[in-house]
Amino acid sequence: MGCGTWDTDSFRSYSTSKGLTTDKLGFVTSSVSNQEMFKARDLDPALDPKDVIRECCDSDDHPNTLPVILAMDVTGSMGQAAVEVAKKLNSIMTKLYENIKDVEFMIMGIGDLSCDYYPIQVSQFESDIRIAEQLDKIYFEFGGGGNMYESYTAAWYFGLHHTKLDCWNRGKRGIIITIGDERINPYLPMHGRRSGLVDALGDNLEKDVETPELFEETTKKFDIYHIHVNHGRNYDEENIEKSFKSILDEEHFKKANLDNITETIVNIIVGAAEKDESYIAPVSAIDQVVTNENGEIVW
pLDDT digits (tens, 9 = 90+) for 119-166: 999 999 999 999 999 999 999 987 776 678 999 999 999 999 999 999
pLDDT digits (tens, 9 = 90+) for 201-252: 999 999 999 999 999 999 999 999 999 998 766 678 999 999 999 999 999 9
CA distance linking residue 18 with residue 168, whole number of Å: 37
Q: Give φ, ψ of 237 to 5 degrees.
A: -60, -40
Helix H or strand E segment including 176: strand 174-180
Beta strands at 163-165 and 54-56: parallel, antiparallel or unpaired:
parallel
Tell me the mean pLDDT in the region 10-24: 94
pLDDT digits (tens, 9 = 90+) for 237-296: 999 999 999 999 999 999 999 889 999 999 999 999 998 888 887 654 434 445 555 555
- Look at 4 and 45; give whichever has higher pLDDT: 45
- For domain 44-281, give the fold: Rossmann fold (3.40.50)
pLDDT the model gives residue 291: 52
pTM here is 0.91
Our CA dihedral for 153, 156, 158, 161, rounded to 10 degrees, sits at -130
Banded model confidence at residue 34, pLDDT cuts 50, 70, 90: confident
Domain ranges of the chain: 44-281
